[in-house]
A and B are shown apart, each in its own frame.
Chain A
Amino acid sequence: MSTASIQSNPIKARRLRLSLRAPSADSVTRIARALLLPLLGLLVFLFAWHIAARNIDTSLGQFPGPAQVYEQTFGLIADHNRERAREAAFMERQEERNAAILAKDPSAEVRLRDYTGKPTFVDQVGTSLVTVLSGFFVATLIAIPLGILIGLNGTLYAALNPLIQLFKPVSPLAWLPLVTMVVSALYVSDDPMFAKSFLTSLITVSLCSLWPTLINTAVGVSSISQDLKNVSKVLRLPFMTHVIKIAIPASIPAMFTGLRLSLGIAWMVLIAAEMLAQNPGLGKFVWDEFQNGSSDSLGRIMVAVLVIGIIGFMLDRAMQLLQSRISWDKNAVVR
């Protein structure tokens, strides 16, 4: 009974999707739902925000409403362009000077110094993105193989499960001082490939974000149906073939659930870590603006908040896209 209904499920689901595509009066309502309702929600939100902002006075002036945020967005972009122009001018002047020196004495040694301006908002967004992706990448590199091993091996699972449960809920802020000290102590090099701040952020992000992927992968692998395991046994598949042909594909849907959670956590953790450790990135931008305390600060922080949200959303969308490309289980790709 129950097996029969499970088998028919995907077929049912497909039929459902087909009927969604069929043109009908229904589809008009559906488009309205898909477009108009979110738009309406947004408008109501903007209005409520506008009203609320006018009624909140802080020591740094009025709380920024939509209009100020809009204004600040262009302000920040203008800042960035101005800074870039300055950098270009600086480099040009250097090159002119060097050319002049070389013209006089072709054997003279000339140097190009880097422009050391203050990183702009756009720079900080870039830094944060690079850091979060690197941290997430490292976490994935650890979590997926380990998750597969744990999922395949009951003994390993029993041995590691308490540790996983213990470390999973640790807040990034608790890791940060330790990671900072360890990085300063161990990462000593005259010509460092990475900045220490980058490494600290990266490691903190990895430590906090690897758990969902690890756990979901392990659960995915360990819950492979007994029938499929039996198929593998009857065929006497070697260990690696079993992993590649059965364990990994079977746990891909669960793996992606974990990856999406991990990426979300990585992004949240990174902002907090940057704020606390004063490591370059969006978190530092927010903190600097807060310390700065000019009349524009709150507006700029609000821009940062929105950008953080938008980037988090887009990262999740990107993972979802990847999932729908890679995963065989097309029915699992929802929400």
Chain B
Amino acid sequence: MTHLELTGVAIDFPTSRGPFRALNGVNLKIDQGEFVSLIGHSGCGKSTVLNIVAGLYQATEGGVVLEGKEVREPGPERAVVFQNHSLLPWLSAYENVELAVKQVFRNSKSKAEMKEWIEHNLELVHMSHALHKRPDEISGGMKQRVGIARALAMQPKVLLMDEPFGALDALTRAHLQDSLMDIQARLNNTVIMITHDVDEAVLLSDRIVMMTNGPAATVGEILNIELERPRNRIELADDVRYNHYRHEVLSFLYEKQRKPPEGVTTAAQEKNKPAKTTELAQDLHSNTVSDGEKAAHAAA
């Protein structure tokens, strides 16, 4: 049964040179409990898709339907994990989650139940030891864990994650990916995650949605990842299917959707995203690291 459906989604951003069509004709159906990754070159419109599902942006054409209801505004049933954790810096980990829990369950949980629920969610992401630490007192990976706990604590119908591990080092990222797989196995959330890490996409997803380059970006190909769970990154490193999936994604990104050379990008793109041009180079670089090396890192 379709849980979440995007139908003919298009969006225009107003710019000084008239409307800029970032997305066009995006169609996507997602089932309950499915883990879907969005991958594509930076600036193609992945965040825009996520923001439309979150209700933070309004589609110009088409729309999003969640459990039969059209999405019109943001809400806690579509919780977002932002790339930069976006914890309130003046609140402790506990208080950050508490803000969400108090808002979402203010009519349905007692004080004691809320406390238990907050602690439970922080436990889920292994943050019980630092409940009362503020964001500037914990590491980047821990902040991201708290961000995930806050989103999970809203008991969302869909969990939206915008490059949740993008700013983390490889080792921390691997730990968090494993945590996320554990949690996903237990809670069976519906997840849309943006990533630019091919290994991450293959390891975590049920399906990988590959987006074409903007402007007017759309869904290019969809890859079903039929690897049984639980998945183990070290075993998968030698798995033929795993490497085949990886290869599929890489060939989509770097052959079919090769990024136009610098200078050919449209004026609108340049104006809007001046600082992101280096990301592709980093992608390419990180993908040249051999799997064996990565697995060794992760195991360490």
Interface residues of A (CB under 8 A from B): 1-4, 7, 10-11, 14, 225, 227-228, 230-231, 233-237, 241, 245-246, 249-250, 252, 328-329
Give A193 to B136 CA distance when docked, in angstroms: 49
> Interface digits, B80-116 against A, CB 8 Å rule (1 contact, 0 not)?
1011101011100000000110011000000000000
In the bound complex, what is the Cα–Cα distance between A237 and B88 (angstroms)?
14
| Size band of the interface chain B makes with A | 20 to 34
- Residues of chain B lying within 8 A (CB to CB) of residue A11: 136
A-B contact pairs, 8 of them (CB 8 A): A7-B143, A231-B86, A233-B74, A235-B100, A236-B75, A241-B103, A245-B88, A250-B90
B interface majority secondary structure:
loop
Contact A10 B136 (CB under 8 A): yes
Known interface pairs A7-B84, A233-B74, A234-B80. Does A245 touch B99 (Cβ–Cβ under 8 Å)?
A: yes
Shortest CB distance B272–A (Å):
14
- B143 cross-chain contacts in A, Cβ below 8 A: 7
Which chain B residues numbered 130 to 186 have a C-beta less than 8 Å away from chain A? 134, 136, 140, 143, 154, 167
Min Cβ gap B102→A in Å is 9
B86 touches A228 (CB 8 A): yes
**In whole Å, how far is A200's beta carbon from the nearest beta carbon of chain B?**
40
Secondary structure at the A interface, as helix, strand, loop or mixed, is helix
**Contacting residues, chain B, for A234 (C-beta < 8 A):** 54, 56, 74-76, 78-80
Interface flag for B278 (CB, 8 Å)? yes
Q: Check if A237 sits within 8 Å of B89, measured CB to CB.
A: no
Which residue of A is nearest B139, CB measured?
A11
B275 proximal to A (CB < 8 A): yes
Complex Cα spacing A233 to B78, Å = 11
Please determine whether A230 and B74 come into contact, CB atoms closer than 8 angstroms: yes
Q: Across the interface, which residues of B come within 8 angstroms of A329, CB to CB?
A: 89-90
A228 vs B82: C-alpha distance in the bound complex, in angstroms?
10
Are the CB atoms of B84 and A3 closer together than 8 Å?
yes
CB-defined contacts of A236 to chain B, threshold 8 Å = 73-76, 103
B103 touches A228 (CB 8 A): no
CB-CB under 8 A from A3, the residues of chain B are: 83-84, 167
Q: Are B88's CB and A231's CB within 8 A?
A: yes
Chain A residue with minimal CB distance to B156? Answer: A234
Check B88 against A249 for contact (C-beta < 8 Å).
yes
A2 and B76 CA atoms in complex are apart in Å by: 29
Nearest 9 pairs between A and B by C-beta?
A328-B90, A227-B86, A233-B74, A10-B136, A249-B90, A234-B74, A235-B103, A227-B82, A234-B80
A230 with B99: CB separation less than 8 A:
no
Minimum Cβ distance to chain B for residue A12 (Å)? 11
Q: How far is the CB of B251 from chain A (nearest CB, A)?
A: 27
How far, in Å, is B187 (CB) from chain A's closest CB?
A: 19
Query: Is there an interface contact between A328 and B134, defined as CB atoms closer than 8 Å?
Result: yes
